[in-house]
C-alpha cells in the first residue's frame, strides 16, 4: 500500500540484482491530494467523452499505472 492506496502484489519476488536503476517522474514536486487529482482526471475524461473523443492515459510509473484502475472503481 502506498500513500494509503492499495497496489497489486507481485506474484513472486524479483530476482537478486547487483545494480538497480530507478527512473522517477516529477519526483521533485509536491502533488495535490489524491482526491483532487482523481476529480481532475474524471473531469478531463468526462469532457473528452462528451466531445466524442477517445481517452488515452500513458503511464510511466508502475505505481501510478496500478492506482488508475483502482481509483476508477466505485467508492474510490
pLDDT, tens only, 4-30: 666 667 678 878 887 776 666 666 778
Whether pLDDT at 71 is above 60: yes
pTM for this prediction: 0.53
pLDDT at 33: 85
pLDDT at 13: 81
**Average pLDDT, whole number, for the chain?**
76
Instruction: For residue 26, give the nearest of 73, 70, 60 by alpha carbon.
Output: 60
Banded pLDDT at 1 (limits 50, 70, 90): very low
pLDDT at 50: 95
Amino acid at each position: 500500500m502506498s500513500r494509503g492506496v492499495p497496489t497489486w502484489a507481485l506474484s513472486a519476488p524479483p530476482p537478486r540484482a547487483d545494480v538497480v536503476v530507478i527512473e522517477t517522474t516529477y519526483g521533485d514536486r509536491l502533488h495535490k491530494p489524491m482526491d483532487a487529482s482523481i476529480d481532475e482526471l474524471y473531469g478531463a475524461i468526462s469532457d473528452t467523452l462528451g466531445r466524442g473523443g477517445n481517452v488515452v492515459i500513458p503511464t510511466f510509473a508502475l505505481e501510478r499505472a496500478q492506482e488508475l484502475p483502482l481509483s476508477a472503481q466505485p467508492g474510490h
